[in-house]
Chains A and B, each alone.
Chain A
């Protein structure tokens, strides 16, 4: 997958040759800093990018079908019934002048359910995400942030899609509510068996929540591994740096260094490996050639000259 943003200062390669796959029932986490291209990937998969963003190459295969090849009618059928998304500012994604019930039924009616079926399903969904049914007739402003987020998740599950994209679903919420909602999503996933592409900048959240993790830096995936493996045996210096950026609430207290410098400007990305100006282990070769992705073990791959 390649995505370019056309800007006044030149093209920005926001996503530059990213490949990954999600098996049924897996939770794949995509971690990276702001501007690393993680949300762009999510939007590209659903083809909801707007100009100046341009998908310049690659494939997005869903059960063998290339989403990037679909025409408008096919896309309309495909979206939401196969992949749905919960956006970053989901709390503000609801229409303030429509009742929750109508917003919930809207998508189902559009996809061909009858009114009675949709109404029944709406009740079911509310039960699923743990909100009392009388709240269906409320307007969004009458609900708290956490409840609105649950409503948005209910809408995403309306058509029982096999895959869900969560784009920073809890960044605007407090920790207690965040934990509640993620727990609920995890329970629902066990019950309904959907796959999740989980996007966040919070690595500690990801390690807890996902089965596999891909680390993105400046538009590229630099390391991919099962969550546990990545946590125990991080290889890429950027992954190590990220791990070193989250203080812990338990165990011994030691000084954390974070990562020096700041993320690069993608109009003029650094030569060679994009991380080399900030990398503590940079070698001469790093600034000349971009490293290829190396397979370390069956599930673990890393793009770094050290390996």
Chain B
């Protein structure tokens, strides 16, 4: 087994991970550069929030980590093991039980014709976490109580349509917890929920992090919730990770022009009514199909310089732990 620094405090290390999707055929065959050269790590017991607009490659990133789609290029180290080499064809049961997903839409991620108990019993049976019926039932109730669904035994008999959106998302979290995961990949878990119940879900995620030391990659397009729950924040633009670091540091002293643009666009009731100036960074996200070289943000960047059109800058550390990929910071 290939090991990478087994003393590492990182549960997950991603190195140069890239995903290209082919589109078109033969002469018109082209490539969508969905994720380009992503390098980051997740520490044990931390929440890494991955922020970006729709289409920026966030979901593709976690789908590669969950190994739902093959990786075009790059390495993924999970608990020190280079899993694309140790488990080259498909993820092992062990990996699948350690890395779990929560999806965006709790109305689509549960099967309408099965009870809640069925949803939670399946992972227990498949991963041999419980064997006899009574044990399975007890574990299901325990899981529901962990995610604050009460009375557990009664809810377990219900069907998904009999639950509210918030309860369904809690069931989805309970399903992920069933196999004792170490890393949970949460894909916009609150964006489909009513505003008044979103905080409950985020607080539950934080509580599980504290109590069980579970690490998360939390995907969102909402910087405020990323700050609320994330220990680290990474910003993604057009398939590239452009900036990352401690969440307070990113909120307070972001240096990449795109992160600054995002921050200026967030409505903030506590900051009060401001007369806002035009940010000057109009424009559109570039096409990801066979993109030109250079930084993808050049078309909208207010501080663009010549070299930006030619090469994508490497990661540069601004302060310890805070990195950026921008030519303004670097050599």
Contact = CB atoms under 8 A, between A and B. Distances in A.
A172 to B, nearest CB: 9
B164 A207 contact: no
Contact of B267 (A176, A204, A251): A204
B103 to A, nearest CB: 19
B114 to A, nearest CB: 22
Interface string A247-272: 11111010111111011000000000
A56 B165 CA distance: 30
Contacts of A263: 164, 194, 196
13 contacts: A175-B221, A176-B281, A204-B269, A207-B272, A207-B273, A208-B268, A242-B195, A245-B196, A246-B224, A250-B271, A258-B197, A258-B199, A262-B196
Given A176-B265, A227-B273, A247 B195 contact: no
Most buried by B among A180, A244, A278: A180
A257 B261 contact: no
Contacts of A231: 269, 272
A246 B225 CA distance: 8
A248 B10 CA distance: 29
Most buried by B among A146, A231, A249, A263: A249
Contact of B198 (A146, A209, A249, A258): A258
B54 A174 contact: yes
A26 to B, nearest CB: 14
A209 B275 CA distance: 10
Interface residues of B, number: 43
B53 A245 contact: no
Nearest to B266: A249
B223 interface: yes
A244 B265 contact: no
Given A175-B266, A246-B195, A246-B224, 19 more contacts: A33-B194, A174-B54, A175-B53, A175-B221, A175-B222, A175-B262, A176-B262, A207-B267, A208-B273, A208-B274, A231-B272, A242-B195, A242-B196, A247-B199, A247-B228, A249-B223, A251-B271, A255-B203, A263-B196
B272 A262 contact: no
A231 B270 CA distance: 8
B232 to A, nearest CB: 14
Most buried by A among B53, B164, B195, B271: B195
A128 B203 CA distance: 44
A262 B194 contact: yes
B167 interface: yes
B227 interface: yes
